[in-house]
Chain A
């Protein structure tokens, strides 16, 4: 069965960076786009961007360009997102998702990573 296992919660200081992971299992990791989604304070969802593990190709929401960096390690079927220059506005839950093969909807979600930015 498809699983996306994300890394644990993070408490980081303003101005620092954080890197989180998303380990995929139960499907061929390189064949499907992985998306990252932000959910602030239990509110709505914002799409950050996506990466295609086979090639490393990415697409970003303009709002998150310069903020988020997406990478993958094909050898471990793991996707990573690094967020830089953190502020309180970056405090949120971040989800990784597996996208359906031919369309950009998310058929599987990770459990989420809570990031708290505080001094």
Chain B
């Protein structure tokens, strides 16, 4: 199975700041990487697919980058509504696997 190592596990940042969340795959996943946002008590929502494509309706302050085994999610100008847990997921190989999540809080 492809292991997805996500960091940091938790993150506290101020409003307006820029934050980065990293995801490291145990092997090359050829940009088959999605990012999801899960707000407390809600279902996950798709933010980014194919490593860097923004899902329709997602604010442009979210962006994704990376290739090979290393990927990142960047959130510019942090807003209060961005408080959530963020997960990466690889879909290059079965079984599909997720990172362990990054819990983002406002300082």
* A interface residues (Cβ-Cβ under 8 A, vs B): 35, 43-47, 59-63, 95, 100, 103-112
Contact = CB atoms under 8 A, between A and B. Distances in A.
A103 B91 contact: yes
Contacts, number: 55
Given A45-B89, A95-B44, 19 more contacts: A43-B100, A44-B98, A44-B100, A45-B44, A45-B98, A47-B95, A47-B98, A60-B95, A61-B95, A62-B95, A95-B43, A103-B50, A104-B32, A104-B91, A104-B96, A105-B49, A106-B36, A108-B46, A110-B43
Interface of B: 32, 34, 36, 43-46, 49-50, 55, 87, 89, 91, 94-101
Contacts of B91: 103-105
A44 B96 contact: no
B87 A106 contact: no
6 closest residue pairs by CB, A with B: A104-B91, A61-B95, A105-B34, A109-B43, A47-B96, A45-B98
B44 A103 contact: no
